[in-house]
C-alpha cells in the first residue's frame, strides 16, 4: 500500500507567487511527527506549560465566574473596590495541578498569601 501524500499549496492574494510542498506520510515522517507531539505534550503537562496556559483571558474568565469575590472569605470587589483579587490553583502547579477552570479559584490577596503551597480541601 503506498504512503499517502499531502500537498500543501499557498498562493498569494494577487496570485503572483505561490509555494507548494508535498509531505509523504512515510515512516521517517511519522516518527518525526510523534517525537514533536510527545515533546509538545510533555511541555503542556509540565509546570512551565501549565503556567503558560494562565492567560489574561483565563484569569478574567475565572474572576467573572466567581463574581469577583474571594471563594474563601467571600469579600468582593463590590464591597471593596480596591480589593486585589488573584486567580489561584486549588491543587498547585508544583504538585501537578492543571490550569483548568475546575482547578482555579478566585482568592483575595490576603487569603492567597495565607494559603501558600498547601492543598486545602
Task: Please give the residue ranges that form the binding site for Zn ion (CB under 5 A).
Answer: 70, 72-73, 108, 111
**CA atoms of 103 and 87, how far apart (whole Å):** 10
Cell numbers linked to 108: 483575595
Shortest reach from residue 81's CB to Zn ion, in Å: 15
Q: What is the 3-state secondary structure (H, E, C) of 33-77?
A: HHHHHHHHHHHHHCHHHHHHCCCHHHHHHHHHHCCCECCCCCCEC
Shortest reach from residue 95's CB to Zn ion, in Å: 21
Kindly tell me which of 24 and 67 has the beta carbon lying closer to Zn ion: 67
**CA atoms of 104 and 107, how far apart (whole Å):** 10
Kindly tell me which of 93 and 108 has the beta carbon lying closer to Zn ion: 108
**CA atoms of 59 and 61, how far apart (whole Å):** 5
Kindly tell me which of 50 and 112 has the beta carbon lying closer to Zn ion: 112
Shortest reach from residue 112's CB to Zn ion, in Å: 8
Kindly tell me which of 88 and 93 has the beta carbon lying closer to Zn ion: 88
**CA atoms of 25 and 31, how far apart (whole Å):** 10
Shortest reach from residue 75's CB to Zn ion, in Å: 5
Amino acid at each position: 500500500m503506498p504512503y499517502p501524500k499531502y500537498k500543501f499549496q499557498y498562493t498569494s492574494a494577487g496570485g503572483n507567487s505561490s509555494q507548494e510542498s508535498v509531505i509523504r506520510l512515510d515512516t521517517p515522517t511519522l516518527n518525526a511527527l510523534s517525537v514533536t507531539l510527545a515533546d509538545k505534550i510533555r511541555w503542556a503537562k509540565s509546570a512551565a506549560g501549565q503556567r503558560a496556559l494562565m492567560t489574561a483571558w483565563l484569569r478574567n474568565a475565572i474572576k467573572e465566574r466567581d463574581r469577583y469575590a474571594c471563594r474563601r472569605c467571600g469579600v468582593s470587589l463590590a464591597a471593596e473596590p480596591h480589593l486585589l483579587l488573584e486567580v489561584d490553583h486549588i491543587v498547585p502547579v508544583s504538585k501537578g495541578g492543571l490550569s483548568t477552570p475546575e482547578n482555579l479559584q478566585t482568592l483575595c490577596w490576603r487569603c492567597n498569601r495565607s494559603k501558600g503551597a498547601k492543598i486545602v480541601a
